[in-house]
Chains A and B, each alone.
Chain A
Amino acid sequence: MTAPLTPTAPSAVRPQGGRPLARLVRRPPAVAGALWLAFIVIASLTAPLWLPYPTEQQDFSAVLAGPSPAHWLGTDELGRDLLSRIFAAGGGTLAASTIGAVVAMLVAVPLALIAASGGERVEGVINRVTEVMLAIPAFIIMLAVIGVVGTNMPIIMAIFGFLISSGMYRVFVGAAKSLQAQLYVDAASVDGIRPVGISLKHVLPGMLNTVMVQFALVFAVAIMLQAGLAFIGFGPPIPQPSWGGMIQAASQHVYDAPWMMVPTGIVLALTVLSANVVADALAATTDVPQLQIALREPKRRMRAGASTADTQAAAGEGLRVRALAVGSEAVTLVSDVSLDVRPGRVLGLVGESGCGKTLTALSLIGLLPPGIRPQAGEVLWNGHDLTRLSEREFMRIRGREIALISQEPMRALDPMFTVGYQLGGAIRRLQKVGRAAARAEAAALLGKVGIVDAPTVLRLYPHEISGGMAQRVAIALALAGRPRLLVADEPTTALDVTVQAEILDLLRSIIADTGMSMVLVTHDFGVVADICDDVVVMYAGEVVESGSVHSVLEGPQHPYAMALLAADPHAGVEAESQRLASIPGQVPQPKDWPDGCRFADRCRFSTEACRRPIALTPRRSAEGEVRCIRSAELTAAGVTWAAAPAGVEPERVRIEPERVGAAEAAQAPTRRAEPEEARL
């Protein structure tokens, strides 16, 4: 365990790696718990070697004594050394608890694996059986067993483990089923691996952490249970020490010798507590599927050093972004973004994932992820610079003047409340109207977003409506404050094309009716062509081309825009070659951005001159701007980004050093197909 003890610095996309044990080490209570458990185990196991007194040795000169040099922890009613007895009892207790926990796992884990892999019928049978087991009163069964086999703790604990396994199974089967549903399990089946192999190779390793957590919990319960049994007289046969028995004995002397309770009580409590703390820590480190949602999950952000909104209201209407840069302390993620959206217009922000579209959009509404903030430039909304607003000031604008629709409509809705409750609440908050007025307005809004049976839908919960319907509700929610600017982040990406068309129609008619403007983030040029008036193409955090939709989509002048459009199968231009144009390599990570053209490494037309910083310049014989020193020349020559013939690819490839060993990944060999020279 060589993991660093310092917590990793928070960053936007936080690496979620590390082994559970390594991460465990970062939690001090868990470390203390683990150390205590280790101590108690080692001390108990080695007890015969170091115990100061034999457990049964009675010292009548010191009966019911407190701590003394002779008896560090005092003595009991027969003058027996408590220290010796505690640790002599420890071994048996811990061993029996371990047996209980092991049995519970040995029964529950295989059952869960079988249930998860065996199909509905098998799972049904196992569920039925475990339900019956759960209904059995475990304690009474154990008392009955004691009646038969006597106070044989290992056997009793084994039976306890068996009885409690049905509860464990409940926990495990959920984990096993979610792992079993992973695509890599399907892939392994297609490989021809048998179900048992899949369970052992692909499902069990993913469950190990959960198993460890439950093990620790059962272990703790087993210790308590043994103490409880011994307390009521079902402990190990009499002179033999046991923690429960000792506590029971001490309880007879709470008044005349209160100390006697203390050492055993503390050891018992600490041990149980430690097991729980360790289990907690393990549970907190349970692997969650690594979704890269950090940038997608807008969180409220408090900006430090907020100044008052400036009052230069002269700068005109609509949205005007100038030289905006966005980033964290360490790295700039978006730079030099400028755009204008006049009232009633729709601007498309288009590019591949990781190009900074979403960050740009979120900075318009003050919802950048934690740790990320505007670094330079301004976002002028009707003349006010939004980058200077405090969170409180932004609250007055957000929802009322500028509203957001996100990619996941379901995320905008709280699963716990009905559509009507959420929509009504938003209307009351944003429009400051009463309950009845809000309800009427909610129904009207749903009608406006094309929901026919509004009264019914208002009563439904989010999970009861389809994705398309949820997006309509989310749009209604965004419209609740009668905003003048709608920021829509991939509003139709998760929807079927038929539903997408309906939602785009809806947005179009809302814009026509209200004269509001919209910034639409998308990676789909078809959507841009359908609904946008203007478009901004982004690459690696900066604007590479902007202009009217007609001129950019029908005559792109930046090589990246040309390439993207040629790669789009919807363009239907690939017919003769039977191949799509593609761009070798991939978008560079922000930390790898060169000073010069960020597209240079992938550009067919790059030259030495492209290695210098490149500014936006007016497009050739069209409005808008382009960031390429050769665009005028290329456009004049009518060059396009055609598909490369088979065999010219595979392209240059660079391994993402993403989260793991950057040094190691940096050594990945790079290969490059000869770039086709522009025919000029």
Chain B
Amino acid sequence: MTIQKAPAAAPAATETAPALRVRDLVVRYGRGRRAAAEPAVNGVTFDIASGETVGLVGESGSGKTTIGKAILGLQRVTEGSVQYRGRDITHASLGERRDLGGELRAVFQDPYSSFNPRRTIGASLIEPLRLRGVSRADAVGRARSMLERVGLPADAVDRYPRQFSGGQRQRIAVARALICDPSLVVCDEAVSALDLSTQAQVLNLLADLRDERGLSYLFIAHDIAVVRFLAQRVLVLYRGQVMESGPAAGVTDAPKHPYTQALTAASPVPRPTEQAERRARREVLVVGGASAAAPTSVGCPYAARCPLATELCRTERPALRPIDDRLVACHYAS
């Protein structure tokens, strides 16, 4: 995300290369006549360093999940590239990805559909290990100790997903992601479906495991406060484009892009007095309704809702430019 270094060509360069390097990623759903009018992801560039957590926030449909899927190889990339520890995996086949050794893993949102209801927890957990040639007994042993690490009894291996609550399933999903010692985990709304106290448990667990194992996370969530808790840096996405990126604390506490400002202002805080002040400030902003958004092919994608939009905004797309410690795509941000 910072200034681009010379691309590390050889796989040998893994030491210097970031864990993940995404360049000008474009993903367009559909093909030929059925192609979507607007790409779901439109020219997104960022890096994730080893041990770093990068958060991805934005409203529903902004392309967060699509970016995660493109990185995991679950969605075909239209343009741009994805490099993992210096190796280009943009169009890597499943076999090539498997040769990465299970280092790129995922935790998905829905604790209810991310496990096959017909298979035991153990069967789901050992699958990636078995594919990588680990013997059955070893794999089961690792599954048991991984389950204990995420705070579940080891004999959960013999149970079915329906016997666990949402929070417990999310812990199991974390165990599945970590069982083959990944270095990067894509967490797509990993805690969004959970209640407050369970959400806190899983967030703490993710933070502990990261510190313990030096993991990198791409942490996708629609809730900017949750992202702020876990991520060092965030990317704010709108209609598939990065509006603002930079240190998590700075972007959430002092956003520079009008869209980030609208997003943080709209997220209510649980302190009534402060919330009343925030609301008063938001009302002054007169943000255009989310429903008023109409696609613009030229110009700033946020122009239809932006309180500051001018003619320039509607005719010229603002490039991401560095302002202080971050990148902002707005003509008027400073």
Contacts and interface: CB of A to CB of B under 8 A. Distances in A.
Interface of A: 17, 119-121, 182-184, 186-195, 201-202, 205-206, 287, 289-291, 352-353, 450, 466-469, 496-502, 504-505, 523-530, 549-550, 553-554, 563-565, 567-572, 574, 578-583, 586, 643, 646-647, 649-651, 653, 655-660, 665, 668-669, 671
Interface string B117-153: 1100000100110011000000000000000011111
B94 A192 contact: yes
A655 B151 contact: no
Contacts of A502: 289-291
B127 A191 contact: yes
B84 interface: no
Interface stretch (B2-10, B263-271, B324-332): B263-271
A388 to B, nearest CB: 34
14 contacts: A187-B176, A192-B98, A468-B290, A497-B266, A529-B268, A529-B275, A564-B197, A570-B270, A571-B269, A581-B200, A582-B201, A649-B151, A651-B201, A659-B163
A532 to B, nearest CB: 8
A649 B201 CA distance: 9
Interface string B67-78: 001001110100
A657 B164 CA distance: 8
A530 B228 contact: no
Contacts of A527: 268
Contact of B291 (A466, A497, A524): A466
B127 to A, nearest CB: 5
A568 B291 contact: no
A466 B176 CA distance: 35
A567 B34 contact: no
Closest 7 CB pairs of A and B: A650-B151, A526-B268, A525-B270, A192-B98, A567-B200, A580-B200, A352-B195
A266 to B, nearest CB: 40
Contacts of B131: 191-193
Given A120-B31, A120-B34, A656-B163, A192 B203 contact: no
A23 to B, nearest CB: 15
B168 to A, nearest CB: 7
Contact of B279 (A530, A554, A580, A646): A530
Given A569-B200, A656-B168, 14 more contacts: A187-B173, A190-B105, A193-B131, A194-B94, A498-B262, A529-B268, A553-B272, A569-B223, A569-B225, A582-B201, A586-B168, A650-B149, A653-B151, A655-B163
Contact of A498 (B73, B197, B287): B287
Nearest to B68: A186
A658 B162 contact: yes
Contact of B197 (A191, A567, A653, A668): A567
B163 A665 contact: yes
Interface residues of B, number: 91
A499 B290 contact: yes
Contacts of B116: 182, 184, 188, 201-202
A658 to B, nearest CB: 6
A20 to B, nearest CB: 12
Given A469-B291, A528-B270, A568-B196, A655 B164 contact: yes
B112 A290 contact: yes
Interface string B166-200: 11100001001000000000000000000111111
B79 interface: no
Contact of A653 (B152, B163, B166, B228): B152
A553 B270 contact: yes
B203 A569 contact: yes
Given A191-B131, A206-B118, A649-B201, A290 B162 contact: yes
A643 B282 CA distance: 31
A497 B201 contact: no
A496 B287 CA distance: 14
A183 B229 contact: no
B88 interface: no
A569 B197 contact: no
Contacts of B156: 655
Contacts of A526: 267-270, 275
B128 A191 contact: yes
Contact of B199 (A184, A188, A567): A567
B150 to A, nearest CB: 7
Contact of A655 (B97, B159, B198): B159
Contacts of B168: 586, 653, 655-656
Given A550-B273, A659-B162, A569 B287 contact: no
Contacts of B108: 183, 186-187
B291 A646 contact: no
A225 B270 CA distance: 69
Contacts of B268: 497, 500-501, 504, 524, 526-527, 529-530, 570
Contact of B272 (A190, A202, A467, A549): A549
Contacts of B207: 578-579, 646
Contacts of A120: 30-31, 34
Contacts of B273: 550, 554
A500 B60 CA distance: 12
A668 B153 contact: yes
B31 A660 contact: no
Given A191-B131, A353-B195, A499-B290, A660 B160 contact: yes
B113 A563 contact: no
